[in-house]
Structure 1
Amino acid sequence: MRLSPLLTDLYELTMLAGYCREGMEAKPAAFDLYFRTNPFEGGYAVFAGLEPALDALAELRFAEDELAYLAGIGLFDEPFIAFLRDFRFRGTVVAPPEGTLVFANEPLLTVTGTLAETQLVETLLLNTLNFQTLVATKAARICHAAAGAEVIEFGLRRAQGPDGGVSAARAACVGGATGTSNVLAGMRFDLPVRGTHAHSWVQAFPDELTAFQAYADAFPDSTVLLVDTYDTLKSGVVNAIIVALRLRQRGHELRGIRLDSGDLAYLSREARRMLDEAGFPEVRILASNELDEQVIDSIRDEGGRVDIYG
């Protein structure tokens, strides 16, 4: 995906203009990209964002409307605008594979080339790699806390804008998530897309059982039911079991249930017991709702029976 070369700090361009004025733009240079402190008070980070960064470098060029904008802000002369018109990144990038554990104050990436090439791409690379490495690290910490349970990325609605949501979905999968709810990220990066239904689906129907049955009728081979709209154990799980029995009679199986509120450790234990007693030990329990590594640790410490965290 093309990123505009204007996705940069102004001082990258003013320095580049100064280099051109001094005849320094072709001088050999090397830049190391690193971070000073491991995130989340941890001992490592998970490197992510390299592939989109390299794609951006390969496509890096100024469009005519971008050049017109720069010419109009009153800082740059025509020879510099002409220089930018012909600009291409032809430097070299050395970096570890994405998913590699990396550490503070060590180079994540080294860029070599001309001073013009290496200076101009600084902000773009920092933006791409810092954010995705941060998200991948958080995802890895959550996956570690999950101790083998599946983790799915559900963060779009709280992400830092549309691009942040797409980038975060990709980075979370680098960090160990097995899929995302983000459909655009799924298409763009060939990620598995996963999802259930919302409380609004249940509330749109006369009652919970009718809502569950309608969803199962629509998606008989991929039904996961959200069971906490009204009363998780007295209503939601009971109705999910009824629908599971009906699906089985038709040659299908309920895939899972989702818990999105309350004491997730207790509710998952009780839901597991009820499902097992009804003959559905293979139905998976998905937990969601502002989960992080500390919450997941607590659920596991309290004997929670969660198969998937989202």
Structure 2
Amino acid sequence: MRALNLTLLTDLYELTMMQGYYKNPTSQIVVFDAFYRKNPSDGAYAIMAGLEQVIEYVRNLHFSPDDIDYLRELKMFDEDFLEYLRGLHFTGDIYAIPEGTVIFPREPLIKVIAPVMEAQLVETALLNIINHQCLIATKASRVCYAAQGDGVMEFGLRRAQGPDAGIYGARAAMIGGCIGTSNVLTGQMFDVPVKGTHAHSWIMSFPDEYTAFKTYAELYPKACILLVDTYDVLESGIPNAIRVFSEMRDAGMEMKGYGIRIDSGDLAYLSKKAYEMLAAEGFEDAIISASSDLDEYLIDSMKTQGAKINSWGVGTNLITSGDWPAFGGVYKLAAIKNAWEDEFTPKIKLSENTEKVTNPCDKTIFRIYDTESGKIRADLICLAGEQFDESEDMILFDPIETWKKTRLKGGTYRLRELLLPVFQKGNCVYTSPSVMEIRDICTREKETLWDESRRLVNPQTVYVDLSDNLYKIKTDLLEEMSMKALENQ
């Protein structure tokens, strides 16, 4: 991201549409919403991530001479349009939900208000960045929830779909709750903890397992995690690890950050046997770490079985979100305004699939919290500028199944607006926290979810509702378009 100009990281049709707008001059300012329709892994929530990279992309948005030369070679674009691109930069406004925030389907994660050509151009890269990092942050959150407070380390770099996916996937995993990553470049770029032990090849390169363990302990006495499954966990690995730990203790060394890692076999059974053997020699506080194609379901299952694992290394299924490979975010037009007009004209996309009918207008989101518990009651999508009185009763209804309603008594709830200004008139007005600060934000955010919405299977839905004013505009538009369709029959 820091080294590359990503302006051409876009679908060709964004550029062909831009030339179409250019050839048919318009002074339209538009509102686009980036949102998603379904939570990953059939969960009840997702985690916002990737905004810092969106900011970097927009800040650096420009067509270099090489970009212009390449587009000219395609023989699709006229010289006057290419000359326009030469001086293009982003001049609009962007609002976004901060990274680390719990998010839900259908609500705008990012809102772009800009001249139509600029708003169109940023679509592809914005979705590419947000879709990937939201997906991995959400997966990490689920894995960490299954671990029930145990440390989870991300170490999927070698299985990621390329260097960028490894780097920014590790960043997102840290936001979602991991305590460290094996990815050294991510550690350097984002100042996050890097962690790791050693491979089976380390053991195999020595004459015997004991010598390999002892040599490693001498090198890293304060981070001595020994991989015990190269030959035989219970007959060789654990006894040799205990021998080395005993020698360290007898030498008066501080026994901190020491333990074992098991990378194969029945991890639940082996961890319990390993704990018995370690505890019998006075090493009951040793770390017992496990790896081997783990995900949240396997971790949850092993917890149920009473596994003695207290540290988890999760690679492939975390960095690729193995069971849910795409986030599914979309970018849809919501309103248009000509330069001489004061108000936006709402726009709506129809579909035979009710879930795909978009929400029109320039919008914002209020999160509604229960004042007693601090938990989320619902999210309310409303018109930008709408105000609500927390001392008054509020009636919420499902915008699809409208008979589902609930009344919130005045004084029992509080509101928080989620969309914050990021760019104003092309200038960045937002400072991104560090990744570790975002991780802390995410931890607090997840605590606002009810336990029923955090469970891994069949979680309780968190409702995302529409305000009365927005709902009326939406239904009026649908009725208007339905009548026009009848007239044309």
Q: Same fold (TM over 0.5)?
A: yes
Tell me the SS of whatever aligns to 1:257.
Answer: strand
Equivalent in the alignment of 2:54: 53
In 2, the alpha carbon distance for the partners of 1:8 and 1:247 equals 57
Residue 32, structure 1, aligned to residue 33, structure 2:
yes
Question: How far apart are the structure 2 equivalents of 1:279 and 1:91?
Answer: 64
1:36 counterpart letter in structure 2: R
Counterpart position of 1:258: 261
Structure with higher RCO (Cα < 8 A, 6+ apart): 2
Tell me the alpha carbon deviations over residues 246-266 of structure 1, each in whole angstroms, 9 at most, x when there is no partner: 223152426221111111111
Q: Over aligned residue pairs, what C-alpha RMSD do you find?
A: 1.2
CA displacement 1:130-163 (0-9 Å, x = unmatched): 0110111111111111111111101111111111
Task: Determine which of 274, 277, 280 is the counterpart of 1:274.
Answer: 277
Cα separation, 1, equivalents of 2:85 and 2:277? 67
Decide which moves more: 286-295 or 216-225.
216-225
Aligned to 1:147: 148
- Aligned counterparts of 2:85 and 2:219: Cα–Cα separation in 1: 54
User: Quick one: percent identity of the two aligned structures?
Assistant: 51
> Which is richer in helix?
1
Query: Separation in 1 of the partners of 2:129 and 2:176?
Result: 15
2:238 and 2:5 mapped to 1: Cα distance? 47
Match of 1:93, SS? strand
Deviation at residue 27 of structure 1 after TM alignment: 2.1
In structure 1, the gaps of 5 or more residues are none
Q: Does 1:165 align with 2:166?
A: yes
Deviations 1:97-132 (A, max 9, x none): 111111111111111111121110000010000011
2:250 matches 1:245: no
> Does 15-24 or 245-254 show the bigger shift?
245-254
**3-state DSSP class of the match of 1:237?**
helix
Deviations 1:178-199 (A, max 9, x none): 1100111111111110000011
**Structure 1 counterpart of 2:6, from 1, 4, 7:** 4
Determine the C-alpha separation between the residues in 1 that align with 2:104 and 2:302.
Answer: 29
Superposed structure 1 runs of 4+ greater than 6 Å apart: none
1:23 aligns with 2:55: no
**2:300 paired with 1:286:** no
Q: Which of the two has greater strand per residue?
A: 2
Counterpart residue number, 2:471:
none
Structure number with larger C-alpha Rg: 2
CA distance in 2: counterparts of 1:286 and 1:91, whole angstroms: 49
By how many angstroms is 1:174 displaced? 0.9
In structure 2, the partner of 1:196 is: 197
What displacement does 1:90 show? 2.5
Which stretches in structure 2 are left out of the alignment for 5+ residues? 314-489
For the residue of structure 2 that corresponds to 1:23, the secondary structure is: coil
